[in-house]
Amino acid sequence: MTTPAEALGNKAGWIAARPVELGPGLPAIGGQEPVICAPLVARTPEEALEQFLRLAARKPDLIEVRLDYLEGLAPEQTVTLLQALHAAAPVPLLATFRRQEEGGARPLAETGRLAILYAALESGAIRLLDVELQTTSSARQELLSASRSHGVATIISYHNFEVTPAYPALVSTLKELAATGADIVKMAVYPRTPEDTLNLLAASQEARTTFLDRPLVTMAMGALGGFTRLAGPFFGSALSFAVGENSSAPGQLEIDVVRALWQNWQLRKA
């Protein structure tokens, strides 16, 4: 009988992806094993450092620093904070400042948001930067270019907290994301019906088998979509966001739950 790991190993005809390395001893995003990313959601730099140390102890592969949750954050503070986190524990960092329209914690003028993202690059402390598709085209491409010049990999992301678009629109958006040239493509949608979750998984599979030559991260949010965070690797998704302390989106599961199930399915090494 074919095991889940063997089925995944066949990659179902997936196009070869260019994995994004996280560091020695860690699985690459888009490599042979799916990756666990824990969100860091804090209000102050002091709280962020304390939470980071607790998260690092739970051994996620990657920690996403949600900069939009930090109250009154300025570019200079961004550099100081990220460098402090980087020095505190050897866990790769993903820097994100989510637009409020896509689930961000607070409103901020686009110039201010971009300044914080550029400060994250200048810190020299991050391995990945999240760049949203809905950022204006010129600003988005300049940010992607700056990331490359700093040796920082990029995630181009699309979030819909209201609905799951129809299947053709999902595939079209994935193609639009891929066309930006970012290193990793991410899509998160909100399902209203069970069919929505199946459409997302099918669109993920189509992307990886027909046009996407880089790692993919997809998920359906909320209780209805929670299982996609576990089953995603069978359909081409290379990473799951899992809770260490505080969730950053509805439907995220505990790190230990994701790790245990993936190990039980032989998708991850013990």
Residue that is written with structure tokens 């505190």 in the block:
88
Sign of dihedral through CA atoms 98, 99, 103, 108? Answer: positive
- Tell me how far apart the alpha carbons of residues 223 and 238 are, in angstroms, rounded to a whole number: 21
159 an active-site residue?
A: yes
List C-alpha distances in Å: 31 to 120, 164, 249. 26, 28, 25
Q: Cβ contacts of residue 220 below 8 Å, gap of 6+?
A: 164, 188, 189, 190, 191, 196, 197, 200, 228, 251
Residue that is written with structure tokens 């949010």 in the block:
221
Identify the active-site residue in 59, 150, 159, 175: 159
Q: Is 70 helix (H, G, I), strand (E, B) or coil?
A: coil
- Tell me how far apart the alpha carbons of residues 202 and 199 are, in angstroms, rounded to a whole number: 5
175 an active-site residue?
A: no
Identify the active-site residue in 86, 175, 186, 269: 186
Q: Distance of alpha carbon 251 from its chain centroid, rounded?
A: 14
**Pick from 174, 167, 205: which is nearest to 8 by CA?**
205
- Tell me how far apart the alpha carbons of residues 16 and 90 are, in angstroms, rounded to a whole number: 29
Catalytic machinery residues: 159, 186
